[in-house]
A and B are shown apart, each in its own frame.
Chain A
C-alpha cells in the first residue's frame, strides 16, 4: 500500500502540520519505508481475537463527585503565548 504525495498532504492537513515541500517529499519516502513493515501483520489470523487497548484489566475507575482543589486561573494561563485577564488570545476563529 504505497502512499502518494497527495495522500501525505491530506494526512498532514488532518494532523494540522503545515509541511514544507522538502518535508512532504522526505516524509512520503520515510512513511512508505516504515509501512512496508506493516504488511507483515496481515499474515496473522486475528479473526476471533479481541483487541487490547489497555494491558491491565481495569474498568470504570471513578471517584466521588466532590469538588477538590485545582490550578488557579493565573497558573493555568501562565504559559500562554498570548494571554490576558485569564483568557488565551488567538486569531479570529469564526468568520463573520
Chain B
C-alpha cells in the first residue's frame, strides 16, 4: 500500500499512535512512547519515498522494542528502578538494523524487571494487562511487547527470550513469537540477563511478519562474539504452505501433569490437522525434560548474578543517597534499585557459584545441560520438528501466582529446554478457551528456523485462529 501511495508512512504511524491513545490506559504495554520522534521519522520516510527511494518490507512500519534493548537517547529501563533514568549513548545492533530498514520505532515496552519473570508483574513500574482479559497477565517477560501487538498498539515488536520470555507471552496474548537459534541475532545492546541463554526475536500478528522481521535483524555482528557467522536464509521468501512428508516428534513429557486438558486438546487437534496435510507425527519420550527446570534455575541465576554485578551506582543507574563508604554505597544502591525477584535470583546465583557449592550446583547443571542437548540431537536425527504446548495453561489472573516462588516458574516448563539447547522455537495460536488464546510450540534444529516457520505458516494458512482480535477486555471480537 505504501508503494502505491494509497497510504503514507505518517498515516500508518498516526493510526498506531491513535490506537495507543485509545487503549493504552487499559493495557499499559509501554514504559516510553516516542510519538514525536516516530512521526518525524515517518515523515522522513515519506520524503525519501517521494524521491524514489526503494521501499523495503519494513519501510515505514511501526515497531515496539522491549525496554531491555538500548535505544540511543531514549530511556531504557529494563522496567527496573535501578535503570529508571538510564539514557543509552548507543543503539543495540538490532535497533541499528531496524533504522537501516527504515522501520519506525514507536516506543519501549514493559517487561518483568531485568527479564526475570513470566507475567510482567515483576515490572518495578506497573503490570501490563492481557488485551483478551484485562484481569489476566500477558505473560512475561516480554509481556508489554506481546500485549502491544495483540492490542494493535504496534504492527511489530521485538522481545527477548531466556527461558521462554518471547514464546510464553505470545501464547498468552494470541500472537506469533519466535526465539531464533542462539547466535542467529546479535545480543549487542541487549541488556544481559543470562548470556548463554538470551536471544532477541520477533513478536508479530502472523508468521509472515515474523519471518520478515527475523530476516531483518539476523546475521553475524562483529560486536557480539557469540553471534554465529552463517548466512541468513530468505526466511520470508522461502515460506510455503506445505508439510508433506514432514516428521513431527511429540515428547510426552510436555503433556504431563499440570497441562490443562483444553491446552492438550488444542495441541493434539493441531497435530491431527498437520497430519491431514501430509505430515506424520509420533509420540516420543525425552526423560531428561523432567530435570530442565532446576537446571535452568541454577544456570540462569548464576549468569545473572555475574551480569548484574555491574549495577553498582558508580557509572549509571540508581545510586543510594545513604552512603558512608563505597561498600555501603554499592550495597545500598543495589538493595534499593533491584526488586524482590531480581534479588532472589542474584542470591541463588551467587550461592550456586560460591566456593564449596560450585561443583554440586553450577557444574552439575552444566553437565545436565549437555544431556539436554544430546536428547534433542537424538530426537532431531529422526524428526524435522518437535511440537508441544507453549505453556501448560492459558493466561492466569494478575496476582494469582505471586506467593509460591515455584508456581510461576512451572509456566516455563515447556519453553526452558529450548534455551538450554540453543535451538529455535516458535509459538502461535492454535485455539481458545474461555476467550483466552492457547499456544502451539514448534521446536526446530539449530539454524533451521526455515522449517519451523514453514510448519507455522502452513498451520496458519489452513486455520483462522490468528485472524481473531481481542475486543480489549470485552472478549473476542468477531
Q: Which residues of A contact B (CB under 8 A)?
A: 3, 7-8, 11-12, 14-20, 23, 26-27, 30-31, 33-35, 37-38, 40-42, 44, 46, 49-56, 58, 61, 63, 71, 75-82, 88, 90-93
Number of A-B residue pairs at CB separation under 8 A: 166
Asked if B228 CB lies within 8 Å of chain A CBs, one says yes
Q: Are B368 and A46 in contact (CB under 8 A)?
A: yes
B377: min CB distance to chain A, Å: 11
Residues of B within 8 A of A35 (CB): 348
A58: min CB distance to chain B, Å: 6
- Count of chain B residues near A, Cβ 8 A: 71
Q: Are A79 and B317 in contact (CB under 8 A)?
A: yes
Look across to chain A and name the residue whose beta carbon is closest to the beta carbon of B89: A75
Q: Are A78 and B89 in contact (CB under 8 A)?
A: yes
Q: Are B295 and A34 in contact (CB under 8 A)?
A: no
Look across to chain A and name the residue whose beta carbon is closest to the beta carbon of B83: A79
List 9 tightest A-B contacts by C-beta distance, closest first: A55-B422, A51-B366, A18-B331, A81-B319, A79-B316, A46-B367, A75-B89, A61-B225, A15-B350
Asked if B35 CB lies within 8 Å of chain A CBs, one says no
Q: Which residues of B contact A (CB under 8 A)?
A: 85-87, 89-90, 181-183, 196, 222, 225-226, 228, 290-291, 293-295, 297-298, 305, 309, 312-319, 323-332, 334-335, 338, 340, 343-344, 346-348, 350-351, 354, 360-361, 363-371, 373, 404-406, 420-422, 446
Q: List 20 A-B contacts (CB under 8 A).
A: A16-B330, A31-B348, A34-B406, A38-B298, A38-B361, A44-B291, A46-B364, A50-B370, A51-B366, A53-B196, A55-B421, A58-B183, A58-B225, A58-B226, A63-B222, A71-B90, A75-B90, A80-B315, A80-B316, A91-B323
Look across to chain B and name the residue whose beta carbon is closest to the beta carbon of A55: B422
Residues of B within 8 A of A15 (CB): 305, 309, 334, 346-347, 350
Look across to chain B and name the residue whose beta carbon is closest to the beta carbon of A76: B89
Q: Are A37 and B406 in contact (CB under 8 A)?
A: yes
